């Protein structure tokens, strides 16, 4: 495949619950941002996200990356925005949806994003069949600067790195087979993400019946000063014992002080253990799911 002339999905990751140590893997920090392939050739740049959407005009501050090369190069990495030195997906979302060119340009100057490069899959030729450590050698030729930073990695000690990112409250780590090839348009076990999920118990204040009768969307809440605040919703399968308990409850008034949409409301008596990535600026849970510890 001639990668240079095509849009394609980057190599995707499988996921496991716990970190591990292995001499066959390297370990990197998982940054909370937008996965992107950046095509540069000394004159032009294209930024394509994992859904094959062209985002070149969204991040004009990365236009200079074309000057880093004198060949046709494709970098794989993550675009991030930072708050207090940490990646903030909420902040990045504000940039993703902007359409006003003058505002995009203004923010690109006042609050630029950073590209974390972790792979080089093309340099005047397809590099995907090379082992990862060889592709890292290609990547290492390109120097870091304020907006282009190569991902730091370590060998073997995945548990130690995971414990450090937990202390820093970062998203997680990625384990990559040291000699692994790059598989485009595929999800493999050669790249594995281990996320730093938070786990809490929340009250169920209602539910919405989905198209499938075997799944409902439960409304999660927490009490603050004796008032129930909505913090997000989560799919609940009929296979879960809480599903049947919830469906049997009589409907009630809406106990949420900050949720106004239609739903089947219930008294907030049932609690459920939920894992999630982070809280948004509105205090909603990001990517909530039933904790494996239930």
Domain with CATH 3.30.470.30 in the chain: 8-195
Q: Could you tell me the CATH superfamily of domain 8-195?
A: DNA ligase/mRNA capping enzyme (3.30.470.30)
Determine the pLDDT at residue 1.
Answer: 67
Query: Which of 155-159, 187-191, 280-284 is the least confident region?
Result: 280-284
Determine the pLDDT at residue 292.
Answer: 58
Domain with CATH 2.40.50.140 in the chain: 198-290
pTM score, whole prediction = 0.86
Q: Which residues contact 237 (CB under 8 A, 6 or more apart)?
A: 214, 215, 243
Output phi, psi for 138, to 5 deg.
-60, -45
How many Å separate Cα 212 from the centre of its chain?
27
Class of domain 198-290: mainly beta
Q: How far is CA 144 from CA 10, 32, 77, 149, 152, in A?
A: 22, 19, 13, 5, 11
Kindly state the average pLDDT of the residues 9-32. 96
Determine the pLDDT at residue 293.
Answer: 45
Query: Which of 14-18, 101-105, 194-198, 281-285 is the least confident region?
Result: 281-285
- Per the CB < 8 A criterion, the answer to whether 204 and 218 are in contact is yes
14 three-state secondary structure: strand
208-266 per-position pLDDT tens digit: 988 766 789 999 999 999 999 999 999 998 888 899 899 899 999 999 999 999 999 99
Q: For 91, which DSSP code?
A: H
- Per the CB < 8 A criterion, the answer to whether 148 and 139 are in contact is no
Kindly state the average pLDDT of the residues 161-189. 95
H or E element at residue 244: helix 241-248
Q: Rounded distance, CA 15 to CA 174, Å?
A: 9
């Amino acid at each position: 495949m001639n990668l240079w002339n095509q849009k394609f999905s980057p190599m995707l990751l499988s996921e496991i619950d716990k970190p591990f140590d292995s001499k066959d893997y390297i370990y990197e920090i998982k940054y909370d941002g937008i996965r992107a392939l950046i095509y540069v050739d000394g004159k032009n740049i294209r930024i394509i996200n994992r859904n094959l959407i062209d985002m070149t005009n969204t991040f004009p501050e990365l236009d200079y990356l074309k000057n880093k090369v004198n060949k046709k190069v494709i970098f794989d990495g993550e675009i991030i925005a930072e708050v207090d030195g940490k990646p903030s997906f909420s902040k990045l979302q504000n940039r993703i949806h902007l359409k006003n060119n003058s505002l995009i340009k203004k923010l690109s100057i006042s609050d630029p994003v950073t590209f974390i490069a972790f792979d080089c899959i093309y340099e005047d030729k397809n590099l995907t069949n090379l082992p990862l450590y060889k592709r890292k050698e290609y990547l290492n030729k390109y120097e870091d600067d304020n907006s282009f930073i190569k991902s730091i990695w370590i060998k073997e000690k995945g548990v130690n790195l995971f414990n450090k990112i937990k202390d820093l409250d970062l998203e997680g780590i990625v384990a990559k087979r040291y000699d692994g090839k790059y598989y485009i348009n595929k999800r493999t076990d050669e790249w594995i993400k281990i996320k730093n999920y938070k786990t809490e118990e929340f009250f169920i204040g209602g539910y919405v019946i989905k198209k499938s009768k075997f799944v409902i969307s439960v409304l999660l809440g927490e009490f603050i000063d004796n008032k129930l605040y909505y913090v997000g919703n989560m799919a609940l399968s009929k296979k879960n014992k809480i599903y049947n308990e919830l469906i049997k409850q009589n409907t009630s008034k809406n106990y949420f002080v900050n949720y106004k949409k239609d739903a089947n409301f219930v008294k907030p008596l049932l609690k459920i253990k939920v894992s999630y990535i982070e809280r948004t600026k509105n205090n909603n849970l990001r990517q909530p799911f039933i904790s494996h510890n239930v």
